[in-house]
Amino acid sequence: MSYTVSELSGDKELVRKFLELPGRLYTKKEIMQQPEEERRILEGTHVLSHYFTVFPLLVLDERGTAVSRAVLTVYPEDPEGYLGFFESEDCKEAVKLLFEKAESVAAAHGCRKITGPVDASFWIRYRFKNSGFDRSYTGEPYNREYYVRLWQEAGYEIVERYYSNHYRIVGRSYADPVFSSRLHQKLQEGYEIKSPSSAAFDRTLQEVYGLLIELYRNFPVYKPVSQEEFSALYSYLKPLIRYSMVKMAYEKGKPVGFFISIPDYGNTVYGRLTPADYVRILLTRARPRSYVMLYMGVDASHRGLGKAMAEAIKEELQAAGVPSVGALIRQGNVNRDYFRELVDYEYEYVLLGRAIRSTESRLHTAAALCHIPRPQ
């Protein structure tokens, strides 16, 4: 079988094949694709499109069937290119051809390294899932098990690891004196830790932005966005939140910490929603079977506040009597060890990267690829 790689360049038929490939790779219960968001990225009409240039790539076999796809994203004055929206059959030859093209385009635009998977932006989606494929939850990157292997076979190395903790149901009698005393201490010191109301959603989102935009600044692949753009990206949370599981911390009226959780909707919230999907969302929000703790941040000058906020959330989980997931914690972050004795299993996620090879090396590999037979 022979393969060709193409840049989409607005070709409607290639765009269709690009968007439809995930539907062939995942079951209905697995797929977490947002095709309309992908289309806006391809068309350059996404709210963040003005920050970057994208180069969508698609590998076709000799029958014209899409086999592998990705989008290379290049930012002005950034020597690092980002490869994302990756989906592929388990085909080493097609993926190598895809990466050769991505490297060539990235090098032509001044990049010296490629990192991925990054779906155009830190604020959209990045990282591969690398364990726990028998379970999934709302908000996680989800992909085929062989994706990390395909990238590693193409010369990419793991550069960052992340973990999600799955917490069992918190028993009514469970208590951790360190966390409970920290919450008591912070309340005694005058901190206010409370859940916002639905009416205050927009203001709360602005407060979270003011904290998060600085707290996440040193994260890999981070790029700043405006408050308006942040609000546009995260306004989707408003109908999904149960506000008792969102906590804001204030000192003298100033926001200094946040903890954002949502019920686990599985993959119901992805793609084009049907009336039945809306009903399932409403029922899940009314009676969640589990929660996903998506985002947490505390101003570093307020020592001990993270444990206090975690205790406040733990008390809500205790009252609800349901399990939860602490999502996507970067390796080395202390909150990965919060309530460690309640963790019954972990998920692992990875970010990969590689330096761009010289032109001569890329040409040599491309020539060699032509002689590799496709596995049967």
Residue 117, preceding bond cis, omega within 30 degrees? yes
Residue pair 183/176 in contact by the 8 Å Cβ criterion: no
Residues 6+ apart with CB under 8 A from 62: 1, 2, 3
- Are 281 and 240 in contact by the 8 Å Cβ rule? The answer is yes
Report CA 275 to chain centroid distance, whole Å.
Answer: 26
Question: Among 242, 324, 316, which Cα is nearest to 281's?
Answer: 242
Query: Cα angle vertex 183, ends 252, 339, to 5°?
Result: 135
Cβ–Cβ under 8 Å, residues 208 and 258? yes
Residue 3: closest CA among 90, 78, 61, 48: 61
**Predicted pLDDT of residue 371:** 34
Cβ burial of 140 (10 Å; 0-12, 13-18, 19+) is buried
Which pLDDT belongs to residue 359? 53
Cβ burial 334-373 (10 Å sphere, 16+ → b, else e): ebbebbeebbeeebbbbbbbbebeeeeebeebeeeeeeee
The residues pairing with 263 across neighbouring beta strands, listed in sequence order, are 291
* The pLDDT value given to residue 372: 32
Closest to 128 in 3D by CA, of 149, 147, 115? 147
**Residue 79 near residue 318 (C-beta atoms within 8 A):** no
What is the per-residue pLDDT for 88? 98
For 41-68, b/e burial (b = at least 16 CB within 10 A) is bbeeebbbbebbebbbbbbbbeeeebbb
> What does the pLDDT read at residue 358?
61
Report yes or no on whether pTM surpasses 0.85: yes
Q: What is the pLDDT tens value at each position of the chain, 376 positions in all?
A: 899 999 998 889 999 999 999 999 999 999 999 999 999 999 999 999 999 999 999 999 999 999 999 999 999 999 999 999 999 999 999 999 999 999 999 999 999 999 999 999 999 999 999 999 999 999 999 999 999 999 999 999 999 999 999 999 999 999 999 999 999 999 999 999 999 999 999 999 999 999 999 899 989 999 999 999 999 999 999 999 999 999 999 999 999 999 999 999 999 999 999 999 999 999 999 999 999 999 999 998 999 999 999 999 999 999 999 999 999 999 988 888 999 999 999 999 999 999 997 654 444 443 333 333 333 3
pLDDT of amino acid 374:
31
